[in-house]
Amino acid sequence: MKERLKKMFSVSPLKITVVVTLLALTLFLLDVPFLRFMELKALDLRILSRGKIPSGGETVIAVIDEKSLAELGRWPWPRTTIAKLVDILKIHGAKAIGFDIVFAEPDENSSLKTLYELTQDARKIGITDKRLRALLGEKKALADNDAILARAIKKAQNVTLGYFFHISKKEVAHLTEQDIEATIENISGSKYSMIKAAKNVNETAIVHAYAAAPNLKQLSEAAENSGYFNAFPDSDGAIRWSPLVIKFRDTYYSSLAMSLLIQYLDWPMCVLNLGEFGVEGIKIEKMEVPTDDTGRVLVNYLGPAKTFPHYSVSDIMNGRLSPDKFQGKIVIIGATATGIYDLRVTPFSTVYPGVEIHATVIDNILHQNFLKQSWWIKFLDVLSIIIVGLIMGLLIPRLKAISGIMISLLFIGAFITANITLFSRYNMWLNLIYPVLTMLAVYLVITVYRYITEEREKKKIRNAFQYYLTP
Q: What is the pLDDT of residue 171?
A: 87
Question: In 92-168, which residue ranges form alpha helices assigned H by DSSP?
Answer: 112-124, 129-143, 145-156
Q: What is the pLDDT of residue 172?
A: 87
Please state, in angstroms and rounded to a whole number, the distance separating the CA atoms of residues 188 and 158. 16
> Last residue of a domain, which of 349, 366, 383?
366
> Last residue of a domain, which of 366, 395, 423?
366
One domain, residues 304 and 352 = yes
One domain, residues 190 and 338 = yes
Of 85, 136, 106, the closest CA to residue 217 belongs to 106
Q: Look at residue 116 and tell me whether its pLDDT is greater than 80.
A: no
Please state, in angstroms and rounded to a whole number, the distance separating the CA atoms of residues 126 and 69. 44
Q: Look at residue 140 and tell me whether its pLDDT is greater than 70.
A: no
Question: In 10-105, which residue ranges form alpha helices assigned H by DSSP?
Answer: 13-30, 33-50, 66-72, 79-91
At residue 253, the 3 state secondary structure works out as strand
> Last residue of a domain, which of 366, 400, 433?
366
Phi and psi at 166, nearest 5°, equal: -90, 120
One domain, residues 377 and 358 = no
Of 297, 293, 292, 304, the closest CA to residue 44 belongs to 304
Exposed, middle or buried by CB within 10 Å (0-12, 13-18, 19+), for 119?
A: middle
Domain-located, residue 90: yes
pLDDT tens profile 196-239: 988 888 888 899 999 999 999 999 999 999 999 999 999 888 99
Q: What is the pLDDT of residue 345?
A: 85
Q: Please name the residues in contact with 369: beta carbons below 8 A apart, sequence gap of 6 or more.
A: 53, 300, 363, 427
Average pLDDT, the chain: 88
Alpha-carbon torsion angle 113, 114, 118, 121, nearest 10: 80
Bond before 76 cis per omega within 30 degrees: yes
- What is the pLDDT confidence band of residue 51, given thresholds at 50, 70 and 90? confident
Q: What is the pLDDT of residue 123?
A: 55
Where is pLDDT greater, at 440 or 136? 440
Q: Which domain holds residue 392?
A: 2-51+373-463
SS (H, E, C) 392-404: HHHHHHHCCHHHH
CB atoms within 10 A of CB 413: 10
One domain, residues 424 and 377 = yes
One domain, residues 249 and 359 = yes
* pTM for the model: 0.86
- What is the pLDDT confidence band of residue 465, given thresholds at 50, 70 and 90? low
pLDDT tens profile 290-308: 999 999 999 999 999 999 9
One domain, residues 286 and 183 = yes
Q: What is the pLDDT of residue 120?
A: 55
Q: What is the pLDDT of residue 24?
A: 96
**Are 389 and 24 in contact, with CB atoms under 8 Å apart?**
yes
Domain-located, residue 134: no
Q: What is the pLDDT of residue 119?
A: 53
Identify each DSSP E strand in 181-239 by its residue range. 194-197, 208-209, 211-213, 225-228
Q: Please name the residues in contact with 461: beta carbons below 8 A apart, sequence gap of 6 or more.
A: none
Percent of the chain with pLDDT over 70: 88
Q: Look at residue 6 and tell me whether its pLDDT is greater than 60.
A: no
- What is the pLDDT confidence band of residue 44, given thresholds at 50, 70 and 90? very high
Q: What is the pLDDT of residue 205?
A: 87
**Are 423 and 59 in contact, with CB atoms under 8 Å apart?**
no
One domain, residues 349 and 404 = no
Q: What is the pLDDT of residue 118?
A: 46
Q: What is the pLDDT of residue 466?
A: 62
User: Cα 187 to the chain's mean position, in Å?
Assistant: 21
One domain, residues 302 and 423 = no
One domain, residues 408 and 301 = no
Instruction: Give the residue-averaged pLDDT of 349-374.
Output: 92
One domain, residues 389 and 360 = no
Q: Look at residue 127 and tell me whether its pLDDT is greater than 60.
A: no
**Are 347 and 301 in contact, with CB atoms under 8 Å apart?**
yes
One domain, residues 277 and 311 = yes
Domain-located, residue 118: no
Domain-located, residue 132: no
Domain-located, residue 223: yes
Please state, in angstroms and rounded to a whole number, the distance separating the CA atoms of residues 446 and 207. 46
> In the chain, how many domains are there?
2
Where is pLDDT greater, at 139 or 440? 440
Q: What is the pLDDT of residue 143?
A: 53
pLDDT tens profile 319-333: 999 999 999 999 999
One domain, residues 272 and 419 = no
Q: Look at residue 107 and tell me whether its pLDDT is greater than 90.
A: no
pLDDT tens profile 252-271: 999 999 999 999 999 999 99
Domain-located, residue 149: no
Q: Among 9-18, 338-347, 418-427, 461-470, whose mean pLDDT is lowest?
A: 461-470
Q: What is the pLDDT of residue 236?
A: 87
- What is the pLDDT confidence band of residue 112, given thresholds at 50, 70 and 90? very low
Domain-located, residue 250: yes
Domain-located, residue 147: no
Q: Which residues pair with 278 in a beta bridge?
A: 275
